[in-house]
């Protein structure tokens, strides 16, 4: 059976089963094809990064059947309701504060307190599938990292197959629903700060249409005033406790985070092992939840053992370096 299949009741059932099992499904939206995974499943989220070969964990957009479902996981304000009413379903992504009980895995928002949500314009059949996933389906564009975004199912297939001999292990299905009408990515607007609406990415909905609904100008993301504004660092997750990278031991006032082998860290006040099997994908899936748990204990520091650079190890190390830099005293 080839990976690419026309959208039908049978293939949609298979897609839903695959997503429930933590596997990935590529699907059409009005913008580009997305590489989707169950937002509630940490391993599925890690597999998205693995499959794309992304060297970094950038936060992902969660896709929902309707605004009610989207706003059940984040905290909308009046601006969000107005934009949703005007543009959903459609190519507009809103970044909003996560609800305290947000069911989306922290890796999907790269450990941030915000989550990007969108209601895409999809076929009624795929919308019904989306409605079955309360945490939504997280999906970046369905292309290997650094390649062009795919606007057809053929692009998705060619993109992933050209990289290697076999289809990526966790990609179960490419649901072929024809070419994407917009062919441009969604416009991303950050509403997470009251009083400031920020344009994070230009896309298929033009800035002036959004400003007309808001009755307010969007702040460009490149505005130098924004770059130096407080809160800028919040776009990279940083724990409260300082991180000590590539540690080999830990003292009793420190918590420890190790990749797979806890030897040397016995003295730590608390220990998290990311992957006892030594899998970087499993470690990525566990990373943010483990950091949040250790940080909540209020240790003097978090000693982090070395993480190999294979597979998702590069992205894990990148994220740890940023977290360490973010928590350094100024
Ligand atoms: P892609 O996954 O390629 O569609 O890109 C998603 C876009 O949304 C990127 O530009 C991300 O930086 C942005 N994004 C997603 N979630 C967030 C978030 N929580 N905060 C800021 N930007 C986000
Ligand atoms: Mg992309």
Which pLDDT score, from 0 to 100, does residue 222 have? 64
Tell which atom from ligand 1 comes closest to the C-alpha of 139: 2
Tell me which of 235 and 245 has the higher pLDDT.
Answer: 245
Ligand 1 pocket check: which of 114, 145, 188 to mutate, most ligand atoms within 8 Å of Cβ?
188
Distance 191 CA to ligand 1 centre (A): 13
152 shares its domain with 295: no
Q: Where are the beta strands (DSSP E) in the chain?
A: 4-6, 24-27, 34-38, 61-63, 92-97, 114-118, 137-138, 171-176, 187-193, 196-201, 219-220, 243-244, 254-258, 270-273, 301-304
Which pLDDT score, from 0 to 100, does residue 326 have? 65
152 shares its domain with 270: no
Which pLDDT score, from 0 to 100, does residue 1 have? 62
User: Could you read off the pLDDT of 51-65 as tens digits, one per residue?
Assistant: 998 888 889 999 999
Tokens of 149: 């975004």
User: Could you read off the pLDDT of 203-235 as tens digits, one per residue?
Assistant: 889 999 999 999 999 998 764 444 433 334 345
177 shares its domain with 95: yes
Ligand 1 pocket check: which of 36, 55, 56, 60 to mutate, most ligand atoms within 8 Å of Cβ?
60
Task: Write b or e for each residue in 281-315: b if 16 or more Cβ atoms lie within 10 A of its Cβ, otherwise e.
Answer: bbbbbbbbbbbeebbeeebebbbbbebeeebbbbb
Question: What CATH number did the domain enclosing 248 receive?
Answer: 3.40.50.11030
Question: What CATH number did the domain enclosing 24 receive?
Answer: 3.90.870.10
Ligand 1 close to Cβ of residue 282 (< 6 A) = no
Please, which residues bridge with residue 121 across strands?
A: none
Ligand 1 close to Cβ of residue 273 (< 6 A) = no
Closest-approaching ligand to the CA atom of 92: 1
Whole-model pTM? 0.87
61 shares its domain with 185: yes
| Mean pLDDT, the chain, whole residue set | 91
Ligand 1 close to Cβ of residue 84 (< 6 A) = no
Which pLDDT score, from 0 to 100, does residue 236 have? 65
Closest-approaching ligand to the CA atom of 49: 1
71 shares its domain with 185: yes
Q: Residue 237: inside a domain, yes or no?
A: no
Distance 145 CA to ligand 2 centre (A): 8
Q: Residue 229: inside a domain, yes or no?
A: no
Ligand 1 close to Cβ of residue 19 (< 6 A) = no
Cβ atoms 38, 135 nearer than 8 A: yes
Lowest mean pLDDT among 136-140, 224-228, 239-243, 315-319: 224-228
Ligand 1 close to Cβ of residue 191 (< 6 A) = no
169-198: average pLDDT? 92
62 shares its domain with 207: yes
Which pLDDT score, from 0 to 100, does residue 325 have? 81
Rounded Cα distance, 103 and 96, in Å? 14
124 shares its domain with 165: yes
- 84 contact partners, CB below 8 Å, separation of at least 6: 67, 70, 71, 76, 94, 119
Which pLDDT score, from 0 to 100, does residue 61 have? 97
Give the rounded percent of residues in the chain with a pLDDT score beyond 90. Answer: 75
Ligand 1 close to Cβ of residue 34 (< 6 A) = no
Q: Residue 58: inside a domain, yes or no?
A: yes
Task: Say if residue 123's pLDDT is above 80.
Answer: yes
Ligand 1 close to Cβ of residue 201 (< 6 A) = yes
User: Could you read off the pLDDT of 6-21 as tens digits, one per residue?
Assistant: 999 999 999 999 999 9
23 shares its domain with 161: yes
- Look at ligand 1, atom 13, and give the residue with the nearest C-alpha: 59
Tell which atom from ligand 1 comes closest to the C-alpha of 149: 3
Task: Say if residue 330's pLDDT is above 50.
Answer: no
Q: Residue 236: inside a domain, yes or no?
A: no
User: Could you read off the pLDDT of 48-100 as tens digits, one per residue?
Assistant: 999 998 888 889 999 999 999 999 999 999 999 999 999 999 999 999 999 99
> Which of 158, 188, 220 corresponds to the end of one domain?
220
Ligand 1 close to Cβ of residue 109 (< 6 A) = yes
Cβ atoms 170, 24 nearer than 8 A: yes
Q: Residue 226: inside a domain, yes or no?
A: no
Q: Residue 231: inside a domain, yes or no?
A: no
| Structural domain of 300 | 243-324
Ligand 1 close to Cβ of residue 254 (< 6 A) = no
Ligand 1 close to Cβ of residue 114 (< 6 A) = yes
13 shares its domain with 79: yes
58 shares its domain with 122: yes
Which pLDDT score, from 0 to 100, does residue 228 have? 39
Which pLDDT score, from 0 to 100, does residue 240 have? 86
Ligand 1 close to Cβ of residue 112 (< 6 A) = yes
User: Could you read off the pLDDT of 284-309 as tens digits, one per residue?
Assistant: 999 988 998 999 899 999 999 999 99
Q: Residue 159: inside a domain, yes or no?
A: yes
Closest-approaching ligand to the CA atom of 138: 1
> Which of 166, 186, 220 corresponds to the end of one domain?
220
62 shares its domain with 161: yes
Tell me which of 168 and 130 has the higher pLDDT.
Answer: 130
Q: Into how many domains does the chain fold?
A: 2
Distance 63 CA to ligand 2 centre (A): 15
Ligand 1 close to Cβ of residue 192 (< 6 A) = no
Q: Residue 235: inside a domain, yes or no?
A: no
212 shares its domain with 248: no
């Amino acid at each position: 059976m080839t990976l690419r299949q026309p959208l039908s009741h049978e293939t949609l059932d298979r897609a839903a089963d695959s997503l429930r099992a933590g596997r990935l499904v590529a699907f059409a939206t009005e913008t580009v094809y997305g590489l989707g995974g169950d937002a509630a499943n940490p391993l599925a989220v890690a597999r998205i990064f693995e499959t794309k070969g992304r060297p970094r964990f950038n936060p992902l957009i969660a896709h929902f059947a309707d605004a009610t479902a989207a706003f059940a996981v984040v905290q909308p304000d009046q601006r969000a309701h107005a934009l949703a009413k005007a543009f959903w379903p459609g190519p507009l992504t809103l970044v909003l504060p996560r609800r305290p009980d947000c069911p989306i895995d922290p890796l999907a928002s790269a450990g941030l307190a915000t989550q990007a949500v969108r209601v895409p314009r999809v076929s009624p059949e795929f919308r019904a599938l989306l409605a079955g996933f309360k945490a939504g389906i997280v999906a970046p564009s369905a292309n290997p990292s650094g390649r062009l975004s795919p606007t057809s199912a053929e692009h998705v297939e060619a993109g992933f197959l050209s990289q290697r001999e076999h289809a990526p292990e966790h990609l179960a299905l490419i649901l072929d629903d024809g070419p994407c009408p917009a062919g441009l990515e969604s416009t991303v607007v950050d509403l997470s700060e009251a009083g400031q609406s920020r344009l994070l990415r230009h896309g298929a909905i033009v800035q002036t249409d959004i400003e007309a609904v808001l009755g307010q100008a969007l702040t460009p993301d490149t505005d130098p005033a924004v770059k130096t504004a407080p809160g800028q660092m919040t776009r990279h997750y940083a724990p409260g406790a300082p991180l000590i990278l590539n540690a080999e031991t830990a003292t009793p006032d420190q918590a420890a985070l190790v990749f797979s082998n806890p030897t040397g860290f016995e003295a730590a006040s608390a220990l998290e092992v990311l992957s006892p099997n030594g899998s970087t994908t499993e470690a990525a899936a566990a990373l943010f939840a483990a950091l949040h748990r250790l940080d909540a204990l209020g240790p003097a520091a978090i000693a982090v053992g070395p993480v190999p650079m294979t597979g998702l190890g590069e992205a894990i190390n990148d994220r740890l370096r940023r977290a360490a830099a973010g928590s350094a005293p100024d």
